[in-house]
Chains A and B, each alone.
Chain A
């Protein structure tokens, strides 16, 4: 059974810092891994999707890496801004067909 863990559970940083969020999964036979952002009480916004054949994906100040063999992914946020404050979730498919297993998320607060 696939399990996803995210560390840390919460993070508070001053504006401008670079930061890393961690995600680990127990079954390395994944097709892809997706990072999402969730604002309080809102739906999920997809940030990055990394295919199993890829090692990283970049979008603006965000960079996500994937190491299937060790069951880990990291989300790197450069030059953090107060607008980055949100919960960040990672998810992997249970099986082909994109039925996702989510971690509990990392709550990020960027202080101005």
Chain B
């Protein structure tokens, strides 16, 4: 059983650029959630995808968008990067509909630095 993987590990961009982060969910999981974790804070929910459809969104602007593919892997896209977008971006996968026993499994994260 493979765990959740994310790429790239680290990324440096400049203000105004666009970035795509990738996540492969754990085998058998159909739900992917994305979180942003600023330094010294807990993760903040960005959005969730379930079977290729967005299934809830946190308080993030539309320049944060995502996709989920038929194999349940996912992308997070951020347009018009701002300095405050610098953070650790975490992807988590789970199996929806497992009767509340839907433990989330997190990937190692992508560290994004915006200069």
Binding site for B on A (CB under 8 A): 4, 31-32, 34, 36, 41-46, 49, 51-52, 89, 91, 94-95, 97-105
Distance of B1 from chain A, by nearest CB (Å): 15
Instruction: Tell whether, in the assembled complex, residue B101 and residue A42 are in contact, meaning their CB atoms are under 8 Å apart.
Output: no
Q: Is B61 an interface position by the 8 A CB rule?
A: no
Binding site for A on B (CB under 8 A): 4, 6, 31, 33, 35, 40-45, 48, 50, 55-56, 58, 88, 90, 92, 94, 96, 100-109, 111
- Chain A CB within 10 Å, residue with most, of B6, B96, B104, B111: B104
Q: Which of B6, B33, B55 contacts A100 (CB 8 A)?
A: B33
Instruction: Tell whether, in the assembled complex, residue A49 and residue B106 are in contact, meaning their CB atoms are under 8 Å apart.
Output: no
Instruction: Tell whether, in the assembled complex, residue A98 and residue B102 are in contact, meaning their CB atoms are under 8 Å apart.
Output: yes
Closest to B96 in A: A97
Distance of A64 from chain B, by nearest CB (Å): 13
Complex: A34 Cα to B6 Cα, angstroms = 22
Complex: A91 Cα to B102 Cα, angstroms = 13
Identify the 5 closest CB pairs spanning chains A and B, nearest first.
A102-B42, A44-B106, A43-B108, A43-B106, A104-B42
Instruction: Tell whether, in the assembled complex, residue A45 and residue B106 are in contact, meaning their CB atoms are under 8 Å apart.
Output: yes
